[in-house]
Chain A
Amino acid sequence: MAGMIRRLGRWGLSFFERLGRGHLFLLEALAGLPSLLSRPGLVVQQLYSVGVLSLLIIVVSGLFVGMVLGLQGYNTLVGFGAEQSLGMLVALTLVREMGPVVTALLFAGRAGSALTAEIGLMKATEQLSGMEMMAVDPMRRVVAPRFLAGFISMPLLAAIFSTVGIYGGYFVGVGLLGVDAGAFWSQIQDKVDLHEDIYNGVIKSLVFGFAVTWIAVFEGYDATPTSEGVSRATTRTVVHGALAVLALNFVLTALMFGEI
């Protein structure tokens, strides 16, 4: 019993110590952001590797998720004779939930893991130490541009995911199952609200982008500088990132749409 309490205490101390380190790290990363104003090229470079290189997986996933939504939505709605509302169902599902959440999960898997591995390997090969000794602050030169790029990329990727998903739903609903094209689009125009749906979706994706990128860059910077350490850190990024997204999604959904 005493041993269990000791282990629990040790786990708690280590958890809070790491949490504290993560927050200090975040403050340092945020403090490095103003220096990027004079060097936008660093952010553009990272926007390419974090955002543009994630486009393929986002577009393909968005298309298939939209197609499945179209198919499942039609099968459900047709029972009530409400298949003309398919556009609204697909659009609201994507814009409010699936777009930000699935994009964030994919983002954690593709861009987040890449960020962790890159920074972790830079640490393992002494590149970060080398920068420090060249009087170049790695927090400003390496972490801050990646952090900002992740934060900017996420809502853009989520928007692309939702847009492609709606076209996927359109292809299945209108193209294959015979839903009226005018009804599909007019239902979307009528029922999707700019403030309640679009803005809330954007806020969600901004929060997810912040959380996932923070976890990814911190895990890389804090990784044990060995191949095993980098591998563990990369796994942690994906697992913690996904859990953070799902938990935050519940909180945000409750705040935005819930009656809790």
Chain B
Amino acid sequence: MAADPPVTSAPQDPLVCIRGLRFTRGSRVIFDGVDLDIPRGKVTAIMGPSGTGKTTLLRLIGGQLKPMAGSVLVDGQQVAKLGHGELYALRQRMGMLFQSGALLTDLNVFDNVAFPLREHTDLPEAMIRDIVLMKLEAVGLRGGHQLLTNELSGGMARRVALARAIALDPMMVMYDEPFAGQDPISMGVLVKLIRLLNDAMGLTSIVVTHDVPEAMGIADHLYLISDGKVVEQGSPAQLEASSSDWVHQFLHGEPDGPVPFHYPAPDFFDDLMAGEQ
């Protein structure tokens, strides 16, 4: 298992603290002055329309991207300023579930879950086997430990990736669109697992999603992001009670509202008449 982490911030402080975050891709502004706190031991959902940079936010937290301005602190450490060794030491205390699962396709299920243990520990193979089987048992796939990755369904692949993400008993797990493209049963399993693992292992979970019912069902705290800013935040009940029309439209999936159904265009009648002329 990973060694006990150095205490770099007080237990009551948020595990992730983002201040004045600015990030751009070319001329496109992804985040513009975002402030965000991820409390310890809770499930925090980050929601927003497609393309708002939710996955980018996870990559900024994980140090795969650097912000143009502002700070991203994880457990008191400013991620963008960490050296290679310090960043990799911090990442050993993070788990990330990619949307695709990102399983190593040349390894079977067992070896995928064992991968971080073999890379970062000197544990004997017998102990690695026990840990891997325990993690797979937690996600309900102990029986499938010899399956190849191409024999897994989408939901099973994500559960294996989840077992791998928790292999080193991290302090936090980031989930990138865990429910996307899942059938109702797989989605129910994943919803249950995220909540259960968070509570049983004392994790901090960050779930990036645009699946409203699932996020509202498991999250303790939610952030709604749009156009590079935090539009609303709070508990599921607080978001439901929000007076913002945009929040209402997003949460209830209404086709028209502050986000219009029609792309901006000249008057329809004038447009048709212009063709006649």
Contact = CB atoms under 8 A, between A and B. Distances in A.
Interface of A: 122, 125-127, 129-137, 141
Given A127-B103, A132-B62, 6 more contacts: A125-B105, A134-B91, A134-B92, A134-B115, A135-B91, A141-B119
B119 A134 contact: yes
A133 B94 contact: yes
Contacts of B64: 129, 132-133
A127 B100 CA distance: 9
Contact of A133 (B62, B84, B104, B120): B62
B96 interface: yes
B89 interface: yes
A137 B100 CA distance: 20
Nearest to B93: A135
B41 interface: no
B102 interface: yes
22 contacts: A122-B105, A125-B100, A125-B102, A125-B105, A126-B98, A126-B99, A126-B102, A127-B103, A129-B102, A130-B102, A132-B64, A132-B91, A133-B91, A133-B96, A134-B92, A134-B119, A135-B88, A135-B119, A135-B120, A136-B115, A137-B84, A141-B119
A135 B104 CA distance: 15
B116 interface: yes
A130 B97 CA distance: 8
A39 to B, nearest CB: 10
B102 A135 contact: no
A137 B105 contact: no
Interface in B69-127: 84, 88-89, 91-92, 94-96, 98-100, 102-105, 115-116, 119-120
Contact of A127 (B89, B91, B95, B104): B104
How large, as a class, is the contact surface on chain B?
20 to 34
B100 A135 contact: no
A122 B62 CA distance: 19
A45 to B, nearest CB: 9
A127 B115 contact: no
Contacts of A137: 84, 88
B119 A136 contact: yes
Contacts of B95: 133
Contact of A136 (B84, B89, B116): B116
Nearest to A142: B104
Nearest to B174: A133
B24 to A, nearest CB: 20
A46 to B, nearest CB: 11
Nearest to A132: B64
Given A125-B105, A127-B104, A129-B64, A134 B116 contact: yes
B168 to A, nearest CB: 8
Nearest to A125: B100
Contacts of B102: 125-127, 129-130
A126 B105 CA distance: 11
A125 B149 CA distance: 13
A137 B119 CA distance: 10
